[in-house]
Structure 1
């Protein structure tokens, strides 16, 4: 890539957490996530630490080294972790703490469950908390917009959503990665679909869109997307791992490092 982007990524194929950059073959550090199964969600906290959600709960890692400095593992079926208000941590998953369906737990600073909410559903992946404390829940073919009590406020849906992965609110829209739909969707803040971009017909053949997973928005409002290529350690030569679109959704360039990585899923841009 022409721009040098520093990032933290989850190489799901090789079960590694790594810090890299798009200048040359820059991998600063890499650590195994074998003890943290199905790690998916990444969030920067406290400036120099990362919150990572995984199947058993969540952990916290240092950005400079990847060292895990805190681990909370008390469940099975966790799909996402987020920092909550007032130092709390939000854990999202299925059938947690005896609840049925999509569940969000609130943990205090000592990792004690102080609130648990649930709603009907048999699939959830990443959750995003907005500045208005609404929850955007990725539930396969749609994004549910819910209150913190998991009361439905609306949905975001586009033809082709399949395991829709992540959503983010920007200044004037909501972006969603479509999972196996392998495209990005932009919605108005009122929930109307206004744009689809990044699909197979709008990128070079070498990109091989397969599964658009996590994405980050740069300071210049351009968008970097992880193009996951499948489970297992030998996917690095399939397609391109990291895609770059401008603010309007036009494809700019891509990056891969097949000698070191297999298949990016989690992505957190460091700026």
Structure 2
């Protein structure tokens, strides 16, 4: 065979391998996955069954943040006045709390109580947490007065709380003291960091909001690394995420406020802890605009409350 022809074939083969290595994984990697999505752009709750699309639905919900499996086939969503519980199969509202105007996020704790998050709220300065019992009665108020921003909260296995506060993430104790804190990198603009989760090696994983990445910090609060990309998914704002049983991370890649962002980016991404994008789901621009929260339901018992374990993985309580 002509030496120049062989050289050309090798070059072409190399280019094809390079293109294949950077190609974006698709939803066909998990053809039977079920997803529960919170679309902030259109203020909707979405159920997506890749194997049975006839089961899919989109229902309007109030503005708010976060979503959590709380048992009895229900998902809890935070609202500006408290929370709602929705039937996962249908999206129908089955319970609500509407008497705490100014709520930023809501989370059910391991003890069954609900923790509401607010800012400069309930007569207190800074971040305010209200724990409500099953009768919706306030059992305790926790205050971190030295912060001017807050998004989501996660309970650690030892009963402390991880909170994101713009370009900071911290661990607070129920007595209001701070036991760990870190500063996000990439200070080009306000990060609006979204969610933090403690990992099994003691590191803390943070979805960096407008940093458009994951950031990891060590036990001393020192930045370890960042994970994002590739450019073809249009990383814009890393919001709610879930650590799967496999150890991979699935995150919502939010694209902007309003109803017209459905054609922008790929909005559900799955990474390995080493930073490789191994799966993604491309939203339907006719049905979704800007996804803020995601839950992968496969293998989860929807009749159980789910919280995060010592590895950061979502598990039944």
Instruction: Give the alignment's Cα RMSD to 1 decimal.
Output: 1.9
- Alignment check: 8 A CA contact 2:58 2:287 kept: no
Question: What displacement does 1:100 show?
Answer: 2.0
Any conservation in 2 of the 1:218–1:224 contact (CA below 8 Å)?
Answer: yes
Q: Which has the higher strand share?
A: 1
Gaps of 5+ in 1: none
**Cα distance in structure 2, aligned partners of 1:73 and 1:24:** 34
Larger radius of gyration: 2
CA contact (8 A) 1:89 1:108 kept: yes
Q: 2:42 aligns with which of 1, 6, 14?
A: 14
Higher mean displacement: 21-30 or 47-56: 21-30
CA distance in 2, matches of 1:24, 1:213: 27
- Residue in 1 that maps onto 2:260: 234
Q: 1:69 to 1:47 in 2, by over 3 A?
A: closer
Q: Is the 8 A contact 1:178 1:184 kept in 2?
A: yes
TM-score (norm 1): 0.91
Matches of 1:186 and 1:47 in 2, distance apart?
Answer: 34
CA-to-partner distance for each residue in 1:222-271, whole Å, 9 max, x for gaps?
11111100011110111111112123221224221222110000112212
Task: List runs of 5+ in structure 2 lacking aligned partners.
Answer: 1-26, 299-317
Q: Is the 8 A contact 2:65 2:77 kept in 1?
A: yes
Residues 268 and 294 in structure 2, CA contact (< 8 A), matched pair in contact too? no
Q: How many pairs align?
A: 264
Task: Looking at secondary structure, tell me which structure has more helix per residue.
Answer: 2
Alpha-carbon spacing, 1:261–1:170, altered in 2? closer, same or farther (3 Å): same
Counterpart check, 1:208 vs 2:234: yes
Q: 1:260 corresponds to which residue?
A: 287
Shift of 1:7: 1.6
1:250/1:43 CA distance change after superposition, 3 Å: same
The alpha-carbon deviation at position 22 of structure 1 amounts to 4.8
Structure-2 residue corresponding to 1:54: 79
CA 1:174–1:22: 2 relative to 1, 3 Å: farther
Report the 3-state secondary structure (helix = DSSP H, G, I; strand = E; otherwise coil) of the residue aligned with 1:221.
coil
Structure 2 CA distance for partners of 1:100 and 1:81, relative to 1, 3 Å: same
The residue number in structure 2 matching 1:163 is 192
Residue-by-residue CA offset, 1:142-171 (whole Å, 9 max, x unaligned): 111100222111112221261000012232
Cα offset, 1:85, TM superposition: 3.9
Give the Cα–Cα distance (whole angstroms) in 2 for the partners of residues 249 and 26 of structure 1.
34
